[in-house]
Amino acid sequence: MQEKDVQNDIKHVLFTKEEIDAKIKELAEQVDRDYAGKDVLLVGVLKGAIMVMADLSRALTAHYTMDWMAVSSYGSGTKSSGVVRILKDLDTDLTGRDVLIVEDIVDSGLTLQWLQQNLQHRGANSVEICALLRKPKSVKTDVQCKYVGWDIEPEFVVGYGLDFAERYRNLDCIATLAPHVYS
């Protein structure tokens, strides 16, 4: 796709690359401080969390290991149902581990609530969540995210790992899309 076409598809930039970089640094400082001396496993949720994981993990100063999961949430259309299927599981044994789930966005929170409980049941010492974005008006669970970059309005956003029909993940900003993209 041409760069010009992408610019035409964007309605509004919520967060620029510079703002995201600064926010990731801020989150990394909190995580480093809270987990000092611990052997933390970062668990990225594919595919949306790829950019957050790549940048957060490099902004952290202590030693962290990384693993990935892919899950699919059954639901009607774009709505999450909370019934989750594991498409790719972890390679790591979680017994006694301090786990930090790294996510792009919390919408209903149903997927993350399921994931947090699932990982906890594997014998982890702790399972916390770091999400770059959260839509408080859409959250339907009491899932606790220890680290949140920004709370946003419940509108669909793309970029920095977030996609619409697998496109726009490689935008370096986070943005809403123009109506013509959806038609």
User: Catalytic site residues?
Assistant: 107
Contact flag: residue 73 with ligand XMP (CB under 6 A): yes
Q: Which does 163 bind (CB under 5 to 8 A by kind): Mg ion, ligand XMP, none?
A: ligand XMP
Distance CA 154, CA 81 (A): 17
Which tokens hold the place of 140? 């339907």
Name the segment binding Mg ion (CB under 5 A); options: 20-28, 83-91, 104-112, 166-174.
Answer: 104-112
Per-residue x/- marks for ligand XMP, 29-68, CB under 6 A?
Answer: -------------------x--------------------
Radius of gyration of the chain (CA): 16
Which residue of 59, 122, 156, 167 would you call a contact of ligand XMP, by CB under 6 A?
156
What SS3 state is found at 178?
Answer: coil
Name the segment binding Mg ion (CB under 5 A); options: 34-42, 100-108, 136-144, 171-179.
Answer: 100-108
Give strand pairing partners of 46: 70
Distance CA 68, CA 40 (A): 14
Of 44 and 48, nearer to ligand XMP (C-beta) is: 48
Of 96 and 136, nearer to ligand XMP (C-beta) is: 136
Which residue of 48, 109, 149, 159 would you call a contact of Mg ion, by CB under 5 A?
48
Of 43 and 162, nearer to ligand XMP (C-beta) is: 162
Distance CA 97, CA 41 (A): 7
Q: Which does 73 bind (CB under 5 to 8 A by kind): ligand XMP, Mg ion, none?
A: ligand XMP
Name the segment binding ligand XMP (CB under 6 A); options: 35-43, 52-60, 122-130, 153-161.
Answer: 153-161
Distances (CA, A) of 1 to 7, 9, 90, 163: 11, 11, 34, 15
Residues 149, 133 contacting (CB under 8 angstroms): yes
Q: Omega before 140 cis (within 30°)?
A: no
Give strand pairing partners of 158: 175
Q: Which does 129 bind (CB under 5 to 8 A by kind): ligand XMP, Mg ion, none?
A: none
